[in-house]
Amino acid sequence: MTIKQLQETVDDWIGEIGGGYFSELTNMALLTEEVGELARIIARKYGDQIAKEGDMKHALAEELADVLWVVVCLANQTGTDLTDALAASIEKKSKRDKARFNSRRLNASKKPD
């Protein structure tokens, strides 16, 4: 699925099943909620937090998809072409950070003594 197809699929679903988009402000709040759910899983799976019963009932992939869904909703309702936006972002980061991580790459390639 391309990003364009993703945007179209979400738009079709919102139109046919979802009853229309929530307002941008509501979707911003929902995005925050979904990012929180994602953070909860990451903190318990990769961080120092210890999971309580039920904490891990949602899968990491499910929460990542929930975050992406709301991002796509916000893009659609604000007329944002995510394919173009991501291409521009990659170009910006590539120019801005061309040498930024050189020391990191060099350290990663050094063999331990």
Sites of contact with Mg ion (CB under 5 A): 34, 37, 63, 66
For residue 96, the minimal CB distance to Mg ion (Å) is 32
* CA 93 distance to own-chain centroid: 17
Between residues 43 and 83, which has the closer beta carbon with respect to Mg ion?
A: 43
Q: What is the 3-state composition of the chain as percent helix, strand, coil, each rounded to the nearest 5?
A: 70, 0, 30
Cβ neighbour number for residue 34 with a 10 Å cutoff: 19
Q: What is the rounded CA–CA span in Å between residue 43 and residue 38?
A: 9
- Is residue 75 a contact partner of residue 86, using CB atoms and an 8 Å limit? no
For residue 88, the minimal CB distance to Mg ion (Å) is 28
For residue 67, the minimal CB distance to Mg ion (Å) is 8
Q: What is the rounded CA–CA span in Å between residue 106 and residue 14?
A: 47
For residue 26, the minimal CB distance to Mg ion (Å) is 15
Between residues 62 and 91, which has the closer beta carbon with respect to Mg ion?
A: 62
Between residues 37 and 81, which has the closer beta carbon with respect to Mg ion?
A: 37
Between residues 17 and 106, which has the closer beta carbon with respect to Mg ion?
A: 17
